[in-house]
Chain A
Amino acid sequence: MNKQFKILKSLAIIWLLFVVVISILAMQRGTGFDSSIMTLLPKSQQNSNVQNATQQMTERFSKRLLLLLSAEDEHDVRQAVAELATRLATMPEVAEVTWQVNVDELTQSQQQSFPYRFAVLDPTVRAQLLNKDFEEIKTQALLNLYSPINMGQTKLIEDPFGLFSVLSLNRKNDLNIQVSHTLLKVTNSQQPSYLILLTLADDPFSPALQNSLLTVITSYQEQFNNKGIDLTMSGMLLHAAVGAEQAKQEITTIGLGSLLGIIIMILLVFRQLKPLLLMLFAISIGCISATAVTIMVFERVHLITLAFGAGLVGVSVDYALHFLCERRVRTADTIMSKIMPGLILGLFSSVLAYAAQGFAPFPGLQQMAVFSVVGLSSAWLTVVLWFPLITSNDQLSPLIMASKLDLLRQKMPRLEKHPIMIGGLLLLLVFLAVNSLSKNSNIDDIRLLQTSPAHLLEQEKAVQQQLAASSSSQFMLIQAKTMEQCLQKEEQLHPLFNKLVATGLMGGYQSLSAVLPSLQRQTENQHLVTQLYEHKLENFYDEINLPQSVLLDAQTQMKLATSQMLTPQIWQQQLGHTMWQDLMVSDHQQGAATLIRFKGELTQDAKQQLQVLSDNDNEVLFVDQVQALSDLLGNYRSEVINWVMLAYLIVFLVLFMRYKRQVWRIVLPPLLASIFTLAVLVQLEQGINLFHLMALILVLGIGLDMGIFLTETRDAAHTWLAVSLSAYTSLLAFGLLAWSDTPVLHHFGLTVLLGLSFIWLLVPLMRKEQTRRYE
């Protein structure tokens, strides 16, 4: 016995040294934490142009902050806009403030575009020309001449038909904005509303930037509120700031609350500090080695891994508590042989369930698998190697709580005693649950990962809607060898898009070729205008009695204008191009890419048609980030289900080998609890998602441990106490997350809360009636 003890001791020391060494190694590598959802994507799915375009869009959107001021009194808002914008412009955190329009620049920009008036045409004018509706264009020009309202300047020689006026009149901004007295006024709003557009100088996730900028804005917001001016905002910055704040708050309230609850309970039950410290020791070793190994293997630990991987803490507590409770009634040299089989089976079932996820072809799941398996095994090893050593001199002292809890359990009816009543009740419940589950629609919406509170998202949505801003996550990517080819491709797509807009399936779209047509299209346009001149110019001048000399002048001007083409190079030097330049993704020797943006949310029909287009044409790619990421979550979900089911099948076989026909007592409670939990979740939440399932693995792990440990010790009172405590600690640690404002944590927490409660109620029902012994 002494020799065995020595071996155990050296093994324990080796184990601790190993943990220390690996931690130091990991620390030297530096801890990289990653929160980008893109790194969870399987590598091959990403295309470099898509990545560039997405990055470009994301960067632009993430650094943008839209401030919308509105009030009943026009004058008050305008003053507030000027005041706030001037203040913000002085801040180093702000790279650019856009809030007023320089009319001289606008005029200059129009002058720059005027030479290309026949190369770049308004789409309706072009349609008329293609239709040979020359008479109509002439009539329209005459009507404009005699109209009391002047739509742009009359230039009877340079542009007798007023084609340029039509173009500049119809060219729209990408936002619902009208310039009113040089300020940016939102059209269609009930109250006068004005926009200030900020571009941040740095990453919106920088806490320093968040702090100083939001302090200033919030102080203005309060000041404005007192005057009846409403200030709403939209931008990544707000979400980033709120996210940080929320996490901090929830950790302090929920986190501290549950920790306190656990500590008090453990102290109450054991009436000693030592068991608590031991428990924390095992959990810490588990977490430390899991993090260290994950850093060694993957370089950077994803925050999601940490969040869900931490779930293993709940399972690892099982081992510690089982030992600690059992140790009260068994001596140091007999305990291990008694509980070892249970511990091994418990570890085996949980490790298998977590490891199974690693087989799914997703980096995210692989990371979680490594983290969980290492964490669980480490906590287990710590319990097995260290606990007997540390508690070797402890006296036996049965726990009062064990007998109290045992009495409570006695009162629970047993399935075998009342097979018809309980069995019938369970069958009824299963029937109801299956019925509820059949109505389940899976939710794999990526917006689940959205951590922002609802009120912020609503404000964001309201601002975006008011401005009719285009989506940053859905776009069409056009890729070709040259820019000219890209533009030509876009022009081929216009008819389809116009149809989608006309039938109301799409709110609108923005494409580069609308402002910079392909050279092919420009030549065609010039040719069409030449035809118009040939047919109608003389006739037009006759009707307003202008002399022959004017006709000749006009023809000279026309020849001059048709000799000029708007090349991408010239376009990029024009003042007006900045608003559209994001649409040009790249233009190199190796190839060019442009993108087409959509206004508002695309309908399902529109998405489908765009997808078909994208599938059939390799120059065109429909990118729907929201959908792509949602699909990814869906794939994760189904992969998780498949692998975990397989894992549990193996667990079941192994358990069957040991427990034979008694295996149902172990397997049925977690199984039923899972079904019930899912059924309730379907009713409470709108559907089942990946995060519910991740939590369910934890529930299953604890549930199986419960059954295994109880069976191994033949339902000893102290085992019942141990597994009850374990369920209770997990409930506190994770179940409380059900009250989190962060959707992901809420889903996780609610599942644990329901699942563990069901298991705790179901397990006693299925136990065998034992001849009572008090241990």
Chain B
Amino acid sequence: MRYLLIFILCLPFSVYAELSFKQLEAISTTPEKLQGSFKQEKYLSHLEVSLNSSGTFSYQRGLAIHWYTLEPIQNELIMTENSIINRQGDKELVNLDGRSNPAIALLSEIFFAVLTAQWQQLASHFELSGEENGKQWRAELIPKDKMINQFADKIVLRGDSLLREIVLYESNGDHTTIHFDDLQ
């Protein structure tokens, strides 16, 4: 009986094993194409307010991520591995080219890698910790590079075979949560 209790207490620890990028690669799948909807909450700590938005997204691996914010304002963000284009309707608002702007290059590279679960690429920029339980996993990414700290102190990812949630923590206490639904 006593041994059973110990066994039960130990259970979560033995099942939620330490996580490596290799394991993540084994668990999660990165389909060629994926689309779905998202809900985003940006929390601004010094004003204690949250800004909520939602929309849909789609990506094609290796090509581009389309990020359509529908509420409260409409906007389309197109990310490739080296550029970020902001569009409203047919109007191109901002076009940031990573080739001439190193900060943008880094930013889009990381965001691209996070969304499409390119663990190899993330491994070069982050230290990983977290746990997995069969199909569920939670990964905490701490930047190796202080440059990345400028826009994220810590990134937490949750998912099963697909990525379900991203939380980006900033050094000033702000954080952004992105939740994915209807993935197909």
Given the complex, which residues of B lie within 8 Å of A173, measured CB to CB? 102
Closest to A508 in B: B100
> Which of the residues A152, A170, A180 comes within 8 Å of B101, measured between beta carbons?
A170
Interface string of A141-177 (1 = CB under 8 A from B): 0110111111111101100000000000110110001
Q: How far is the CA of A136 from the CA of B42 in the complex (A)?
A: 22
Contact indicator A143/B73 (Cβ below 8 Å): yes
For the complex, is A37 an interface residue (Cβ under 8 Å from B)? no
Contact indicator B93/A546 (Cβ below 8 Å): no
The A684-715 residues at the B interface (CB cut-off 8 A) are: none
Q: Evaluate whether A148 and B111 lie within 8 angstroms (CB atoms) in the complex, with A139-B88, A180-B145 already known.
A: yes
For the complex, is A181 an interface residue (Cβ under 8 Å from B)? yes
Given the complex, which residues of B lie within 8 Å of A172, measured CB to CB? 100-101
For the complex, is A603 an interface residue (Cβ under 8 Å from B)? no
For the complex, is A657 an interface residue (Cβ under 8 Å from B)? no
Contact indicator B47/A146 (Cβ below 8 Å): no
12 other contacts beyond A146-B51, A154-B174, with CB at 8 A cut-off? Answer: A139-B88, A143-B69, A146-B73, A147-B86, A148-B111, A149-B108, A153-B172, A156-B44, A178-B105, A181-B144, A187-B105, A545-B49
Contact indicator A550/B111 (Cβ below 8 Å): no
B5-13, B23-31, B133-141, B147-155 - the one binding chain A = B147-155
Chain B nearest Cβ from A765, distance in angstroms: 66
For the complex, is A108 an interface residue (Cβ under 8 Å from B)? no
Contact indicator B93/A74 (Cβ below 8 Å): no
- Categorize the interface residue count of chain B: 35 or more
Given the complex, which residues of A lie within 8 Å of B94, measured CB to CB? 140
Contact indicator A146/B72 (Cβ below 8 Å): yes
Contact indicator A139/B93 (Cβ below 8 Å): yes
Given the complex, which residues of B lie within 8 Å of A140, measured CB to CB? 86, 93-94
Q: How far is the CA of A145 from the CA of B149 in the complex (A)?
A: 19
Q: Evaluate whether A150 and B144 lie within 8 angstroms (CB atoms) in the complex, with A103-B149, A143-B93, A187-B102 already known.
A: no
Closest to A74 in B: B124
For the complex, is B107 an interface residue (Cβ under 8 Å from A)? yes
For the complex, is A182 an interface residue (Cβ under 8 Å from B)? yes
Contact indicator B75/A143 (Cβ below 8 Å): yes
Q: Evaluate whether A146 and B107 lie within 8 angstroms (CB atoms) in the complex, with A156-B47, A170-B101, A172-B100 already known.
A: no
The B117-160 residues at the A interface (CB cut-off 8 A) are: 124-125, 144-147, 149-152
Contact indicator A150/B145 (Cβ below 8 Å): no
Chain B nearest Cβ from A324, distance in angstroms: 72
Given the complex, which residues of B lie within 8 Å of A185, measured CB to CB? 102
Q: How far is the CA of A112 from the CA of B106 in the complex (A)?
A: 24
The B65-94 residues at the A interface (CB cut-off 8 A) are: 67, 69, 72-73, 75, 77, 79, 84, 86, 88, 93-94
Contact indicator B172/A103 (Cβ below 8 Å): no
Q: How far is the CA of A179 from the CA of B42 in the complex (A)?
A: 28
Closest to B45 in A: A154
- Categorize the interface residue count of chain A: 35 or more
Q: Evaluate whether A178 and B106 lie within 8 angstroms (CB atoms) in the complex, with A169-B101, A544-B51 already known.
A: yes
Given the complex, which residues of A lie within 8 Å of B103, measured CB to CB? 169
Contact indicator B106/A180 (Cβ below 8 Å): yes
For the complex, is B178 an interface residue (Cβ under 8 Å from A)? yes
Given the complex, which residues of A lie within 8 Å of B152, measured CB to CB? 150
Interface string of A542-577 (1 = CB under 8 A from B): 011110001000000000000000000000000000
Chain A nearest Cβ from B148, distance in angstroms: 9
For the complex, is B99 an interface residue (Cβ under 8 Å from A)? yes
Given the complex, which residues of B lie within 8 Å of A136, measured CB to CB? 93
Q: Evaluate whether A177 and B102 lie within 8 angstroms (CB atoms) in the complex, with A146-B40, A149-B107, A150-B152 already known.
A: yes
Contact indicator B42/A145 (Cβ below 8 Å): yes
Contact indicator A147/B105 (Cβ below 8 Å): no
User: Could you list some 22 contacts between A and B, CB below 8 A?
Assistant: A104-B146, A139-B88, A142-B73, A143-B69, A143-B88, A143-B93, A146-B73, A147-B77, A148-B111, A148-B176, A149-B77, A149-B151, A150-B151, A151-B151, A152-B150, A153-B174, A154-B42, A172-B100, A180-B106, A180-B145, A180-B147, A187-B102
Contact indicator B84/A146 (Cβ below 8 Å): no
Contact indicator A148/B77 (Cβ below 8 Å): yes
Given the complex, which residues of A lie within 8 Å of B51, measured CB to CB? 145-146, 544
Given the complex, which residues of A lie within 8 Å of B79, measured CB to CB? 149
Contact indicator B147/A179 (Cβ below 8 Å): yes
Number of A-B contacts (CB under 8 A): 107
Given the complex, which residues of A lie within 8 Å of B69, measured CB to CB? 143, 146-147
Contact indicator A182/B111 (Cβ below 8 Å): no
For the complex, is A249 an interface residue (Cβ under 8 Å from B)? no
Given the complex, which residues of A lie within 8 Å of B165, measured CB to CB? none
Closest to B76 in A: A143
Given the complex, which residues of A lie within 8 Å of B34, measured CB to CB? none
Residues of B within 8 A of A (CB): 40, 42, 44, 46-47, 49, 51, 53, 67, 69, 72-73, 75, 77, 79, 84, 86, 88, 93-94, 96, 99-108, 111, 124-125, 144-147, 149-152, 168, 170, 172, 174, 176, 178
Closest to B93 in A: A140
Given the complex, which residues of A lie within 8 Å of B146, measured CB to CB? 103-104, 182
Q: How far is the CA of A161 from the CA of B16 in the complex (A)?
A: 44
For the complex, is A212 an interface residue (Cβ under 8 Å from B)? no
Q: How far is the CA of A103 from the CA of B145 in the complex (A)?
A: 9
Contact indicator B99/A188 (Cβ below 8 Å): yes
Q: How far is the CA of A151 from the CA of B168 in the complex (A)?
A: 13
Contact indicator A179/B124 (Cβ below 8 Å): no
> Which of the residues A148, A182, A546 comes within 8 Å of B49, measured between beta carbons?
A546
Q: How far is the CA of A103 from the CA of B150 in the complex (A)?
A: 9
Given the complex, which residues of B lie within 8 Å of A139, measured CB to CB? 73, 88, 93
Given the complex, which residues of B lie within 8 Å of A74, measured CB to CB? 124
Contact indicator A143/B86 (Cβ below 8 Å): yes
> Which of the residues A150, A156, A170, A545 comes within 8 Å of B168, measured between beta carbons?
A150
Given the complex, which residues of B lie within 8 Å of A151, measured CB to CB? 107, 151
Contact indicator B176/A150 (Cβ below 8 Å): yes
Contact indicator A149/B93 (Cβ below 8 Å): no
A145, A154, A172 interface centre (most CB from chain B within 10 Å): A154
Q: Evaluate whether A182 and B145 lie within 8 angstroms (CB atoms) in the complex, with A143-B86, A156-B47, A169-B101 already known.
A: yes
Chain A nearest Cβ from B83, distance in angstroms: 12
Q: How far is the CA of A142 from the CA of B75 in the complex (A)?
A: 10
> Which of the residues B100, B111, B124, B150 comes within 8 Å of A149, measured between beta carbons?
B111
Q: How far is the CA of A142 from the CA of B40 in the complex (A)?
A: 14
B44, B102, B149, B152 interface centre (most CB from chain A within 10 Å): B102
Contact indicator B149/A153 (Cβ below 8 Å): no
Q: How far is the CA of A188 from the CA of B102 in the complex (A)?
A: 10
Contact indicator A550/B47 (Cβ below 8 Å): yes
Q: How far is the CA of A298 from the CA of B126 in the complex (A)?
A: 67
Q: Evaluate whether A146 and B42 lie within 8 angstroms (CB atoms) in the complex, with A172-B100, A177-B102 already known.
A: yes
Interface string of A97-131 (1 = CB under 8 A from B): 00001011001000000000000000000000000
Q: How far is the CA of A170 from the CA of B104 in the complex (A)?
A: 9
Given the complex, which residues of A lie within 8 Å of B77, measured CB to CB? 147-149
> Which of the residues B102, B111, B144 comes within 8 Å of A178, measured between beta carbons?
B102
Given the complex, which residues of A lie within 8 Å of B101, measured CB to CB? 169-170, 172
Given the complex, which residues of A lie within 8 Å of B88, measured CB to CB? 139, 143
Given the complex, which residues of B lie within 8 Å of A142, measured CB to CB? 73
> Which of the residues B75, B104, B149 comes within 8 Å of A169, measured between beta carbons?
B104
Given the complex, which residues of A lie within 8 Å of B150, measured CB to CB? 103, 107, 152
Given the complex, which residues of B lie within 8 Å of A152, measured CB to CB? 150-151
Contact indicator B40/A148 (Cβ below 8 Å): yes
Given the complex, which residues of A lie within 8 Å of B111, measured CB to CB? 148-149
Q: How far is the CA of A182 from the CA of B147 in the complex (A)?
A: 7
Given the complex, which residues of A lie within 8 Å of B106, measured CB to CB? 178, 180
Chain A nearest Cβ from B112, distance in angstroms: 10
Chain A nearest Cβ from B19, distance in angstroms: 22
Q: How far is the CA of A638 from the CA of B87 in the complex (A)?
A: 60
Q: How far is the CA of A150 from the CA of B77 in the complex (A)?
A: 13
Given the complex, which residues of A lie within 8 Å of B149, measured CB to CB? 103
Chain B nearest Cβ from A202, distance in angstroms: 33
Interface string of A43-87 (1 = CB under 8 A from B): 000000000000000000000000000000010000000000000
Chain B nearest Cβ from A721, distance in angstroms: 71
